Amino acid sequence: MEDNRIKEELRKIPQVDHLMESERTKALTLEWGRVLVLKALKDVISLIKEEIIEKGLSDVTEDKIILSLEKKLRDIDLMKLKKVVNATGIVLHTNLGRAPLPKSAVDLVAEVAGSYNNLEYDLIKGERGKRQLYVENLFKELTGAEDCMVVNNNAAAVLLCLQAFSKGKEVLVSRGELVEIGGSFRIPDVIRQSGCELLEVGTTNKTKLTDYKKNISQNTGILLKVHTSNYTIKGFTETVSMGELSRLAKEKNLLLMEDLGSGSLYDFSQIKDTNEHTVKDSLKSGADLITFSGDKLLGGPQAGVILGKKELISVLKSHPLARVLRCDKMTIAALQAVVEIYAGNGDIKKEMPVLSMIFQDEEELSKKQEKLMTGLLEDVGDIFQISHRMGKAEAGGGSLPGVTIDSPCVLLVPNRGKAHSWQEALRKEKVPVIVPINEDGLMFHVRTLSYEDIDLIIEEIKNVRSEEKGEVKG
Ligand SMILES: *Cc1c(COP(=O)(O)O)cnc(C)c1O
């Protein structure tokens, strides 16, 4: 388009003030608030201007602008943090918030957050007290650790330990354990960020005790073992056990630290092929310091738990970074309720949602599968082929790598239209449903679904259908 025509088209766009005064925009403002509507409107208009200039878009009407505005607002709504239904079968889904908390934790968070509390007040003495002392004491009792410190997440825990005890020195790590967790957590980067130098020992598949030995020098700060949280190395392999490393560390007067990633207070060894050991095991085999996440297999809130020798933890607690990395009261509340479940008399496998999903019995799973299947057949059986399937569920979130659990699913193949359109429509429903695609259909894993989730799924599939989202109907 020539310059004059472009100018002409740009001039046709109504003023923002004028648009904000229109009846339809006013209605939107009532629903969404003026701030959001104005921002969305400005975004929509600059996009339209771009399209006029670059793609020759013409004849932009007020009506078109308002339609784009409505769509923009719906997109903004999808950016809000909200509950979603997880039909992926991945129990600890990092994108979906990892561990759903037990009810007692949710209740305590609400209570503590909505009122004053004794976060840093000692009710026995009536004076200033320490936050999280109770939680840390329970962790000590449950694990046999000399002392405990809780920080914001495991990445923070690792960073703090390395910085406090190895700054300016070398950290020895096996080449096979230079983990990337996803996002931006890479062990080599964290080591550098802590002011330490990474010294890789051994090879990717084999690391021997002598590899550590021959790299130890005056400049060595810490021997670090990292749990290979999201992969397994199979075949011609060799790793050095914590026991062996501990003997070496003692002999050389060095610190031994283990980043457990997904530390667990529950014994997962009953699951076949697992490389997950408990926090207790790690301490028993001689680690001076261990760190793990609160929201992986432990099943709690985002937090990093550090356990280890008393004199070391006390150095950490007085480190300047401790304040930077400390947890919020809501985290401490949630963690307290979770640790109390592990310390209590109840059935941990039932009370902790993460464990109950992983260890769900077949009868329960079949019941859910049946409920979903029956509901769907009744309501939308005419537009889908609906069948039972066996899928593979995973613990996920950097835990139990390589372990899949056979898991009942319901497969929904649309008679017309594409599974992808249904997947998108369900993702954009009021309570978004996240479901993977398999064999050209939607594969609902019931392991990660509650009974209420199943009702919701049925309801929302009916909604999508009645909204006649063109594509979906095919
Ligand atoms: C998950 C993981 C981390 C990071 O833990 P966050 O709690 O997510 O910060 C660090 N190290 C290992 C080995 C992990 O598996």
Pocket of ligand 1 contains residue 155 by CB under 6 Å: yes
The answer to whether residues 21 and 155 belong to one domain is no
Domain count, the chain: 3
Dist. CA 433 → ligand 1 center (Å): 26
What CA dihedral angle connects 209, 246, 187 and 219, to 10 degrees?
A: -80
Which DSSP helix (H) or strand (E) runs through 57?
Answer: none
Q: What is each CA distance from 133 to 10, 118, 122, 126, 307, in whole angstroms? A: 63, 11, 10, 16, 13
Taking the centre of ligand 1 as the mean of its atom positions, its distance from the CA of residue 190, in whole angstroms, is 11
Measured in Å, residue 396 CA sits from the centre of ligand 1 at: 12
Q: Is the distance from the beta carbon of residue 442 to the nearest atom of ligand 1 less than 6 Å?
A: no
Nearest CA to ligand 1 atom 15: 261
- Tell whether 199 and 287 lie within a shared domain: yes
CATH number (domain holding residue 190): 3.40.640.10
Q: Which amino acid is at 258?
A: E
Domain coverage including residue 194: 103-351
- Nearest Cα neighbor of 358 from 1, 91, 111, 66 is 91
Say yes or no: 159 and 242 in one domain: yes
State which of 93, 154, 306 you would mutate to test the pocket of ligand 1, scoring each by most atoms of that ligand within 8 A of its C-beta. Answer: 154
CATH of the domain at 432: 3.90.1150.180
**What's the 134 CA to ligand 1 centre distance in angstroms?**
24
Write the single-letter amino acid at 369.
Q
Strands 147-151 and 437-438 come out as unpaired
Asked if residue 398 has its Cβ within 6 Å of ligand 1, the reply is: yes
- Does residue 115 share a domain with residue 42? no
Contact 316, 306 (CB under 8 A): yes
Q: Within this chain, do residues 339 and 395 fall inside the same structural domain, yes or no?
A: no
Candidates 144, 150, 131; CA nearest to 338 is 150
Within 171-309, residue ranges assigned H as helices are 187-193, 209-215, 242-252, 279-284
Pair (291, 177) in one structural domain: yes
pLDDT of 198 reads 95
Give, using CA atoms, the residue closest to atom 7 of ligand 1: 154
Query: Residue of the nearest CA to atom 5 in ligand 1?
Result: 154
How do the pLDDT tens digits run along the chain, 474 residues long? 678 889 999 999 999 999 999 999 999 999 999 999 999 999 999 999 999 999 989 889 999 999 999 999 999 999 999 999 999 999 999 999 999 999 999 999 999 999 999 999 999 999 999 999 999 999 999 999 999 999 999 999 999 999 999 999 999 999 999 988 776 778 999 999 999 999 999 988 889 999 999 999 999 999 999 988 778 888 888 888 999 999 999 999 999 999 999 888 998 877 766 666 789 989 999 999 999 999 999 999 999 999 999 999 999 999 999 999 999 999 999 999 999 999 999 999 999 999 999 999 999 999 999 999 999 999 999 999 999 999 999 988 777 877 889 999 999 999 999 999 999 999 999 999 999 999 899 999 999 999 999 999 999 999 999 986 545 554
HEC sequence for 112-164: HHCCCCCCCEECCCCEECCCCHHHHHHHHHHHCCCEEEEECCHHHHHHHHHHH
> Three-state DSSP class for 89?
coil
Domain match, 420 and 453 both? yes
**pTM assigned to the model:** 0.92
Cα 155 to ligand 1 centre (Å): 6
In this structure, are 380 and 432 located in the same domain? yes
For residue 474, tell me if it sits in a domain.
no
- Look at residue 35 and tell me if it is in a domain: yes
As a whole number of angstroms, the distance between CA 382 and CA 372 comes to: 15
Distance 292 CA to ligand 1 centre (A): 7
Cβ 313 vs Cβ 306: under 8 Å: yes
Q: How far does CA 329 lie from the centroid of its chain? A: 20
Burial (CB count within 10 angstroms: exposed 0-12, middle 13-18, buried 19+), residue 219: exposed
In order, the DSSP letters of 330-376 are HHHHHHHHHHHHHHSSS-HHHHSHHHHHHT--HHHHHHHHHHHHHHH
Together in a domain, 379 and 296: no
Q: Which atom of ligand 1 is nearest to the CA of 190?
A: 10
Q: Are residues 343 and 379 in the same domain?
A: no
